[in-house]
Structure formats: structure tokens, C-alpha cells
Structure 1
Amino acid sequence: MAAFHVPVYFDYLATFSWALSGAIVALRKRCDIVGVFVLALLTSVGGSILRDGVFLQRTPPVLTDPVYLPLITAASLLVALLHQRIADLPVVDKLVSTIDAIGTPAFAVVGMQLALGAGIPLPGVVLVGAVSGVGGGVLRDVIVREVPFILQPGQFFALVVLFASLVFLTLTLALRVDTVLAAWITIGVFFIARMLTIRYNWQTRPLLRDG
């Protein structure tokens, strides 16, 4: 069966939008231009760096594709130059949320495929997929000394990533659905679930409450 690949122009768009979101976080944290670039880099490609460098021992795409670093640099410079106007624009957050709802499952699927090809057991495959999808955001939060967003009570996200990962594995391994079709079904399931979560504000709750 053919492997699923994220369409290259969507890959670049997702990288640019995630870099924007990381740069804006840095701006709101009052970082300098170096801090803006570092957070833009970690947010946009941190997941693939963790996936490839730590789990799969392969060269991350940011080091082999000459487009990524200029894209991240452009996003950083854009935020730096327009810092007075762009920091609080709601359209930026909406763009990132939309791209995120498509990009997270797409990159998770790519990570799971790579893990399956490396002969990693299924629990590890799910872990690699999750790291591929949300690792950049976790690195960003750790760097700015915040509890990573997937560990905090809030709108369903980590659980939706886990559910989408299980959907993909069920379709491909149990039901023998073509990989590319299974990938797009998984992306659709995640997108719908994520949009419903945002629309109805479905949230997790802390296990231990004050008082």
C-alpha cells in the first residue's frame, strides 16, 4: 500500500502558521528577536525533531529541506516587524487553530507510519504519532516555563489525538483500509472532533479540585 505523505504546500503552510503562533507566544512573553526565532522554531518543527532525532534516529526534515528555516525566519521577522499590530489579532489565533486541526492528525499519521516501518510495537507507535503531532507545542511551553497545554485541564486535545491515532491503526491494521484513505479519514475524524470541541467548549476537569 502507498504511504501517506502530507501535501508539501500544506506542510509549508502548517509550518509557517505554527511558527507564527510560537513567535507570538515569545512576543507576549517579552522575548527578544532570538527568543522569538527559537520559540517559532520549536513550535513549528519541534515535534519532528523529537520524533526523528530521539525515537527514530533519522535526520529531521528541517535539516534536509532548505525551505523550512527560511519559512520560520520569515514568520519570526513578520512578528518582530509588526509586533504592535499582530500580537492580539484574533484572525491569527483562528488561522492557527484551523491549521492545527488538520496538521496535528496529518503529522501524527506520518509519525505512526515511520514508527511502524521501524518495527516499533503498537504502544510506541501511538507515542511517536502523538509526539509528531503535539511535540512542538510541548517544547514551546517547557521553554517559557509553563505547564504544557496537553497536561492542563481544558478543551479536549490530547484525548482527541489519541482517539485519532487509534482510528488510523484500526483502519490500517485491523480493517486493511488503504493507508492514504485511512489517513484522510483520520484527519477528517480529528478535524470534526476538534471543531465540535471548540464549538461546544467540551473540557476536561482536574482530578483534584481546590477546597
Structure 2
Amino acid sequence: MRGATAWSSPIDPMAAEFQVPVYFDYLATFSWALSGAIVALRKRCDIVGVFVLALLTSVGGSILRDGIFLQRTPPVLTDPVYLPLITLATLLIALLHQHIIHLQVVDKLVSTIDAIGTPAFAVVGMQLALDAGIPLPGVILVGAVSSVGGGVLRDVIVREIPFILQAGQFFALVVLLACIVFLVLTLALQVATVHAAWATIGLFFVVRTLTIRYNWQTRPLLRDEDH
């Protein structure tokens, strides 16, 4: 048995009560696959490039989460649903590319899709970390990496500074808020995990949408006049 500490997650005795349905992972995977495919379309990739970027974006975070932190086989290798989901997202964007590419709000469309996938992946990552008995600060870290890892890899591959590293619209702070809210709801307030997960996704989506709508931004620590 794992030794309990003040920062240990209390998940072990009642793990079954804290299970997030697998469709949260499917929802996140499909959302991030759409995001990666749209970015690939904007970068003028062919169909293979669109699929590869959709694949990397949608499962990159879970591969980092499982391979580095949780030391388990990523579900994309064990669950037959993931690759068809990513393929569906690729084909959907490929079929609609003429309509999407002319939209003046492509960046906002990607941000909106990310606003669904990000908290869903965070919830799944935190659930797995709780099941593994990781202390709560580590649970938050795993949730954050799970939620933004694919987006970071997507941006690196297309040679852009990852969005989460740039000064601009609130994102990292909203991810942190979502992770804390989920843990408070499930562990402190004993809210049913499914309800807590949907509440977390809803909160993140609302805050991100408001951030995009009103352009709430952070500021760089070093400004041009400081050089």
C-alpha cells in the first residue's frame, strides 16, 4: 500500500467512485484533432500532413502524460477508437476545407475548439494521476501537461512559439483554475465526478470564450522599452 501524506490524493480506498467516463477522453481527442487539422490546413499541408498534425495534436499530450509521468501504455495504442476518431476529424476538415479556409475567424475557431478539448484532457489526466496515488500538486501538473501537451507539440512542429508560452490572452491561468476547481469539487465537496468534470469543462469554456471575446491579456515581463 502507498504511504499516506498530507498531500497524497485520497483516491485509493474508493477509486471506483472517481472514474471519469471514457467519452471525456474521446471528446478531447476529437476536439484537439480538429484543432490540429485546421492548423495544418492553414499551413497548406497535404492530406498526410493534416492527419499527422491532427494525430500529434490530439494524442501528444496523453503520450507525454503516460510515457513520462504515469509510465503506462498510451490509450491510442490500446483502444481501437482513437485512430478512427482522428481519421474522422481529418476527413471532416479535408471535406470542408474550402469553407473553412475562407473564414476570417479561423484562429478563433481553433481557440474555441481548444476550449473544449483542453479541460476534458485535464480532467482525464487528473483522474489517472489520482488513481496512481500521486500527491495533489503532481495531479495538477499531470492535468496541465495532459491538457496542453498536444497543443505545444502542434505549435513546435509548425514552427510557432507555443501559445501557452506567449504573453497574450489568458490560457495557462485558466488551465490552472480548471484543475483546482475539479479537485475541489471531487475531493473537498464530494461532487459526483461526472458532474464535476462537466462543471470544469463548462467553467473553462465560459472563461476562455470571455477571454477571446473581450481580449483579456497578460503582459510580457520585459517590454520593448526595457531593452
Shorter-chain TM-score tier: 0.7 to 0.9
Counterpart of 2:18, as a letter, is A
Partner residue of 2:48 out of 34, 38, 43: 34
CA distance in 1 between counterparts of 2:61 and 2:148 reads: 6
- Cα distance, 1:188 vs. partner? 2.7
C-alpha contact 2:57 2:151 (8 A) present in aligned 1: yes
CA 1:17/1:90 → structure 2, altered by over 3 Å: closer, same or farther? farther
Q: Matches of residues 31-180 of structure 1 in structure 2 within 5 Å?
A: 31-80=45-94, 83-89=97-103, 96-180=110-194
Partner residue of 1:3 out of 5, 18, 28: 18
CA 1:24/1:196 → structure 2, altered by over 3 Å: closer, same or farther? closer
Counterpart of 1:194, as a letter, is R
CA 1:86/1:48 → structure 2, altered by over 3 Å: closer, same or farther? same
- Provide the aligned length of Structure 1 versus Structure 2: 210
CA distance in 2 between counterparts of 1:117 and 1:111 reads: 10
CA distance in 1 between counterparts of 2:25 and 2:113 reads: 10
CA 1:159/1:69 → structure 2, altered by over 3 Å: closer, same or farther? same
TM-score (norm 1): 0.85
CA distance in 2 between counterparts of 1:139 and 1:87 reads: 22
- Deviation by residue 1:44-66 (Cα, 9 ceiling, x = unmatched): 12111211122111222212222
CA 1:145/1:95 → structure 2, altered by over 3 Å: closer, same or farther? closer
Counterpart of 1:3, as a letter, is F
User: Which blocks of at least 5 consecutive residues in structure 1 are unaligned?
Assistant: none
Counterpart of 1:87, as a letter, is I
- Cα distance, 1:162 vs. partner? 0.3
Q: Percent identity?
A: 84
Counterpart of 2:197, as a letter, is A
CA 1:99/1:11 → structure 2, altered by over 3 Å: closer, same or farther? farther
Counterpart of 1:166, as a letter, is I
Equivalence for 2:218? 204
- Equivalent residue of 1:203, what SS? coil
Structure number with larger C-alpha Rg? 2
C-alpha contact 1:112 1:125 (8 A) present in aligned 2: yes
What value does the CA root-mean-square deviation take over the aligned residues?
2.5
C-alpha contact 1:6 1:106 (8 A) present in aligned 2: no
CA distance in 2 between counterparts of 1:132 and 1:34 reads: 25
CA distance in 2 between counterparts of 1:71 and 1:183 reads: 21
User: Which blocks of at least 5 consecutive residues in structure 2 are unaligned?
Assistant: 1-13
- Deviation by residue 1:82-118 (Cα, 9 ceiling, x = unmatched): 5444323357655544443233222211211211221
CA distance in 2 between counterparts of 1:84 and 1:206 reads: 37
CA 1:28/1:208 → structure 2, altered by over 3 Å: closer, same or farther? same
